[in-house]
Structure 1
């Protein structure tokens, strides 16, 4: 068995961003929506930089207009994830894209997504949990509505709350109300930081929002004091190496700081972020990390242990996933 064949846990996956381009093209065809401008000639998503990526992402979401669309999308995502050895995944879901932030519509979308997740678990032996996210560049007021939707549906399946979007808009602290609302509902917290925002954005995320996980967080490598703080606070980074390379944060996998962060005691995990956009899969992430750092099965088992400990799921689910990991 190669390292790529090992079972895997993924904690950082954007639901709409995981939509296979052929799935989006098929929906667009069914609904007679012209999305030709967001695809390359080979059928893959076409974007120039991070800002343009966000525009293409939101354009692709234009065809996802009903709970049934999201049910079909969820099955497509989980079939692909399972084919790449993923046994447990957490997906970022935004009420802004699932019902426009209306809590009643959000419930309908969520029911459809959960129904698909249950079907996928029976078919593919993969477990999914949802982390509700607000979208940073939609602003703090809209984030409050997302947090309200999250709080109203918190439970065994919706287990976390976070924030994605453009790190250049506002500060982490601007969204404190939304995160406190989610925390009071019993949800566990993560947020994107330290991708384009620099090391200081990671510090702000940890101190101002009190998150236990940080999406990306790789710019922490620029600040030794911050690294020590992450270790002391036992914060886990949801690292997405392939995404970081494609978006130009680092020239290649060998230059990526995930190994240095891990060697300094930071809790790191591996995910794909928006896999079809960044031409990656969990198999490819494992293969590239193996090539870049000579990580072996023992290293990847340790990464999975870290991810399992950091997962936003209950103990029964954690034990079920642990047994899947131990099958190899």
Structure 2
């Protein structure tokens, strides 16, 4: 079997994993290899199997399986290694992951070099052929002055590729983050934010315009507004989409109806990613196969998305 489309048509997951792919929307704390963590800790981390009713339910899952067991520097570094192991097993060749700014003080003694080394050394040890794109993470829940204080340790460090804003889309107005994103742009970072997962198509356009985003994490609400779709196409804004996560968080009723199909066919630059492998059992190869089996996208369309994601 020589190509990705054949592997999809034959529903051969192991063959799909042999083909290079990107994972540009991966929260490493929840993005690791289940078997790797079990071997290291003897703890079984079970994925959810039914759509959740709220984000509170997801938080309860995280506390049950992750929070109380991995809340130390040693265990944080284990989660980083698990993310590289998962990516390696899945044939991911471009991996974008990083630490939330609060984690620098919590786990790495406010030592930016120690944080960077945790990721780069894990990469060299486990998956040296993977291209690591190191990300700075921000939570919408945090006060702006607190985030700016944390970021003072990150500015000027050329190891970071991108910055991403996540958390409750309604926590505070997107405009509050303009100053941070202007600085991030001056630093040469690729600008990303989670938007349009719970919010509206209008929220996506507002976020792109206010923060001058290059990419949107999720962005699936754009499919409901033709003017926003055209805006994304015209401005070459990439959407890094996580299909199984969208279904299991109740944002989409069924994979066959996932808006990635409409967005892709409308000319929007989309990628397919894992989000939280440990919660959603959503490694990237499975995401491609699930979309194909649901007849949301053809094998040829999925292969085109895969190739574009590697650029």
TM bucket, shorter chain: 0.7 to 0.9
After TM superposition, list the pairs within 5 Å mapping 1:261-272 onto structure 2. Answer: 261-272=263-274
After TM superposition, list the pairs within 5 Å mapping 1:172-251 onto structure 2. Answer: 172-251=174-253
2:67 and 2:34 map into 1 onto residues whose CA distance is 11
Q: Deviations over 1:99-147 (max 9, x none)?
A: 339883343122122111122233xx32222111101112323332343
* Post-superposition offset of 1:301: 3.1
The 3 A distance-change label for structure 1 pair 21 and 55 is farther
Please say if residues 95 and 101 of structure 1, whose CA atoms lie closer than 8 Å, have aligned partners that are also in contact: no
Please say if residues 104 and 112 of structure 2, whose CA atoms lie closer than 8 Å, have aligned partners that are also in contact: yes
1:58 and 1:202 map into 2 onto residues whose CA distance is 30
The 3 A distance-change label for structure 1 pair 256 and 174 is same
Extract unaligned runs of 5+ from structure 2: 2-6
After TM superposition, list the pairs within 5 Å mapping 1:282-293 onto structure 2. Answer: 282-293=284-295
Please say if residues 191 and 213 of structure 2, whose CA atoms lie closer than 8 Å, have aligned partners that are also in contact: yes
Partner of 2:27: 14
* Post-superposition offset of 1:75: 2.1
Please say if residues 102 and 149 of structure 1, whose CA atoms lie closer than 8 Å, have aligned partners that are also in contact: no
Please say if residues 215 and 239 of structure 2, whose CA atoms lie closer than 8 Å, have aligned partners that are also in contact: yes
Please say if residues 94 and 132 of structure 2, whose CA atoms lie closer than 8 Å, have aligned partners that are also in contact: yes
* Post-superposition offset of 1:55: 5.3
1:176 and 1:101 map into 2 onto residues whose CA distance is 27
Aligned residues: 294
Query: Aligned with 1:288: secondary structure?
Result: helix
The 3 A distance-change label for structure 1 pair 99 and 70 is same
Extract unaligned runs of 5+ from structure 1: 30-35, 37-41, 310-328
The 3 A distance-change label for structure 1 pair 176 and 51 is farther
Q: What is the root-mean-square deviation of aligned Cα atoms in Å? A: 2.7
Matched, 1:78 2:91: no
Q: Deviations over 1:63-94 (max 9, x none)?
A: 44554433322222111122122111111421
Moved more, 162-171 or 74-83: 74-83
1:175 and 1:208 map into 2 onto residues whose CA distance is 9
Partner of 1:129: 133
Please say if residues 17 and 275 of structure 1, whose CA atoms lie closer than 8 Å, have aligned partners that are also in contact: yes
The 3 A distance-change label for structure 1 pair 223 and 8 is same
1:67 and 1:118 map into 2 onto residues whose CA distance is 19
The 3 A distance-change label for structure 1 pair 189 and 229 is same
Q: Deviations over 1:196-221 (max 9, x none)?
A: 01212211210100001000000011
Please say if residues 16 and 61 of structure 1, whose CA atoms lie closer than 8 Å, have aligned partners that are also in contact: no
1:50 to 47, 52, 55: 55
Q: Deviations over 1:6-51 (max 9, x none)?
A: 321110001112145676778888xxxxxx9xxxxx7415675213
